Structure formats: structure tokens, C-alpha cells
Amino acid sequence: MFDFFKKHNQPLFEGLCDFHNHLLPGIDDGSKHVDMSLNMLKAYQRLGFSSIIPSPHIYQELYPNTPETIKKSFQELTKANHLDNVPVIHSYSAEYMVDESFIRNLENSIPKLLLFKKYILLEIHIFGNTQHLERACFELSQKEIVPILAHPERYHCLETIAQFKTLKQKGFYLQLNALSLMGHYGPEVKQKAQLLLKSGLYDLLATDAHNTQNLEQLFSLQLSKKQGLQWEAIRDFQLDLFRV
Ligand SMILES: [Fe+2]
């Protein structure tokens, strides 16, 4: 394996905004308490990220967060954080589970926790299907909100290049979990992530970090020369899209 970025002396995540992570303490399956979040921030600093937008789960069955619970956790963390402003915890959003409840709410209102007032981070059940996604896509397009599908490589129902292309044609941006390329979610997810990367189908990348270990793992991420070029293209696109 050729270490593309070490050779080019450039950290993989330099200057990026990590818009998908579970940094906020105590409100989902991510950071358990403020000290853990502060440790995560130190790892973020070393990885080279310039900003972070925490995105806790909003998932009625397991993590029924609201803008209020998220705001409270965000305030708790920012009050305790005395790092020298890098990375900046820019604001907060959410990772919305697309289920019956999400669709119902979407019909009557606009989701409150958007990214840059325009994008929304979505996930589906790992063993779910794309039916709700299609419905959500229609409703979101009516509201001029752009959907970002978190870690498409992780879903069992999405396997073929044609399926991913269809989602993109419908307006979805596809977000790579960097850990997928390291086999963190198993060899099949890794293989799918490699295929999507090679095929140029990812638009965005993020850590989806749930703890400090997840971030520390990323220090060992290595890419082939070809993967490195695809990664750079994603990074440039993302830097442009999320200019803060
Ligand atoms: Fe996540």
C-alpha cells in the first residue's frame, strides 16, 4: 500500500469540516461524557480538521433527541472546551433516521437541524430498504433541502453501482465514512467503500466518530495512489461546498 498523503506530506483531513460525528456528550451512542468529548477534540486537532459540526442521532426508537436536547449538550461541551479555537465547533445538526416518524414529520414541517441551512444528513436502518428514502427525497426536494446519505456503503439493500447512481440522480449526495476503508465495519463494507471510491461516486467524507478510538484509528488510514486522487477530489468538493 502506497501512503499517498504521507508522501505528499499532507494530512488526509487538513482543513475539512467533519459534519458527521457523535461528539456531543451523553445524548446518543457517541461520546459518553464531556471529558470524552474533550479528548476527541484533541484527536481532531491532530488529524487536521478545521471545524466540526456534531450530528447526534435523531431516531425516535432509540435516541429521541430534539433540537433542545442537542442544544443543551452542545452548550455543555462548548462551555468546557478551552482548546485554542481549532478545530472550531461550528454549530450543530443531526443525523436523522429516515423512518415512519421522520416521514410523518416531514409532511407537516421542515426539519430544524439542517447543515448550512440547506443540507440534511440522513441514515436508514442497516438492514432496511430504500422505500422511505425515496419518499423523503420527494418531500425534501419540495422544500429545496438537499439530502446527504450517510455511509451508503453500510446498507445491505444498496449493493450495485446502478443503485448508487440512481440515488445520486435523485439528488442525494453520498458520504463516505472514512473508517469503512479501514475495515472497521467488516470486509464487505470495506470492499463496497473501495468500489464506490474507485467509481467516483462519493461526494463527501466524514468520520462518524463515536469515541476517541475511532479518531485515533484514522491516523493509520492509508490510501493507494488512485484512492488518494479520488480522496483529493472529494476533499476539494467538500471544501468548496462547506466553505465556512
Ligand atoms: Fe453517525
Q: What is the pLDDT of residues 23-39, one digit of tens each?
A: 999 999 999 999 999 99
Backbone angles phi, psi at 229, to 5 degrees: -70, -40
Q: In whole angstroms, what is the distance from residue 12 CA to residue 126 CA?
A: 27
Q: Please name the amino acid found at residue 189.
A: V
- 85-136 tens-digit pLDDT: 668 888 999 999 999 999 999 988 899 999 999 999 999 999 988 888 989 9
pLDDT digits (tens, 9 = 90+) for 48-70: 999 999 999 999 999 999 999 99
14 with 44: CB under 8 angstroms? no
Ligand 1 centroid to 95 CA: how many Å? 6
Ligand 1 centre from 1 Cα, in Å? Answer: 28
Rounded CA-CA distance 159/53 in Å is 29
Following CA atoms 182, 185, 187, 191 in sequence, which dihedral angle do they give, to the nearest 10 degrees? -70
Max Cα-Cα span within the chain: 52
CA of 176 to the centre of ligand 1 (A): 11
CA of 7 to the centre of ligand 1 (A): 31
180-238 pLDDT, tens per residue? 999 999 999 999 999 999 999 999 999 999 999 999 999 999 999 999 999 999 999 99
- CATH number 3.20.20.140 given to 12-241: yes
Residues 79 and 72: beta-carbon distance below 8 Å: no
Cell of 216: 485515533
